Amino acid sequence: MIYSYPDYYNKFHCIADKCPDTCCSSWQIVVDEDSLNYYENFEGEYRDTLHKNIDWAEGTFKHNRKGKCAFLRDDLLCDMYQHMGKESLCTTCREYPRHTEEFENVREISLSLSCPEVARMLMNNKDIVTWKIKSDEEEEIFEEFDYFLFTNLEDIREEMIHILQNRDFRICDRFSKVLQIGASAQRHFDEGELISWLDVEEQDKVVVEKEYELLKMQFSFLSEELEILYEDWNKVLVESEVFLFGDDEQTFFQNRTEFEIWWEKSTLPPMEIVLEQIVVYFLSIYLLGAVYDENIIGKVEACVGHGIELYMLLLARWLKNEKHLTKEELVELVYRYSREIEHSDENLEQVEVLKWFQR
């Protein structure tokens, strides 16, 4: 078995009570069966509190009156952890924000951007992200796993990440190239041919005729095409839309130019690196999933789309703040966006079938 990890993986430490938006606040935490059995048979002093705070019918932790996990104390520490120790935590609580993608004889482990501390780490990381590999003797066989397609996809992903991290080119040119490779790869696959990043056709280039209309349409996906998980996210989307598109097209482009000039002079990490890290993050996690559904281009477009959506959300916040943006706000928008997308299976599927670009 091969295990891969991004190079910043071991630097992560949960900041617990210092976390600005703890993961156990309003989430519905589904408890795995082993942990439920353990809790059911637990005989210690904490048994009554433990049993009272579990929804046994649903297999989840109950919420308190504030809508937060019943085990989350006012000091933002976990009451179960304090009384029963780390080993008592269910799989979700023990593993989050670690995330694993499973393929035959491969486990790709990442850290979810939906955790504020992970978002902070990645947004402060100016280095090119690399991956570390480990392996052991374990072997497995997945039924109907297309190993040939999988290795093809691995090659394509490696090249796409290489392009995305090539800082000699502007980020929009890197995005275009990756989108073109994705479309060519899909076409070759559909025609029953070997897919390769070397066979890229002119006809697969993205054509943007009306940029303003395209950006408007892409931004509308967030409120019209996707499930909204948190009520306050809806507020962010509604007000962002007004700040972005409330005036005419000329004002939009003027704002965008000013925003980029302002950002360059600010103390924020370079915008191109921020966008690179975001798209590399999504592509590294989701592209290989095409081995299961053969939707290569849907995944590539969604990953680039996430970079564009975040850019737009940051521009909107900058306008809302009367042309200012802090690093904390950058991190906040990144982790909240990730929560909305990555914590909803429905949204993860939907973003890959939306028509993000024209060719």
Which stretches of the chain bind ligand SF4, using CB under 6 A? 14-16, 19, 22-23, 96-97, 115-117
Smallest gap from residue 12 Cβ to ligand SF4 (A): 8
Smallest gap from residue 114 Cβ to ligand SF4 (A): 8
Smallest gap from residue 9 Cβ to ligand SF4 (A): 14
Cα separation, 209 vs 24, in Å, equals 45
Q: Which is nearer to ligand SF4, 87 or 202 (CB)?
A: 87
**33 three-state secondary structure:** helix
Q: Which is nearer to ligand SF4, 19 or 200 (CB)?
A: 19
Cα separation, 82 vs 79, in Å, equals 5
Q: Are 114 and 340 in contact (CB under 8 A)?
A: no
Contacts of 163 (CB under 8 A, 6+ apart): 169, 174, 177, 178, 181
Smallest gap from residue 23 Cβ to ligand SF4 (A): 3
CA 261 to chain centre: 27
Q: Which is nearer to ligand SF4, 120 or 157 (CB)?
A: 120
Q: Which is nearer to ligand SF4, 97 or 305 (CB)?
A: 97
Smallest gap from residue 212 Cβ to ligand SF4 (A): 36
Extract the runs of DSSP E, i.e. beta strands, from the chain.
Answer: 2-6, 54-55, 60-61, 98-103, 106-111, 131-135
195 φ/ψ angles, rounded to the nearest 5 degrees: -100, 135
Q: Which is nearer to ligand SF4, 96 or 189 (CB)?
A: 96
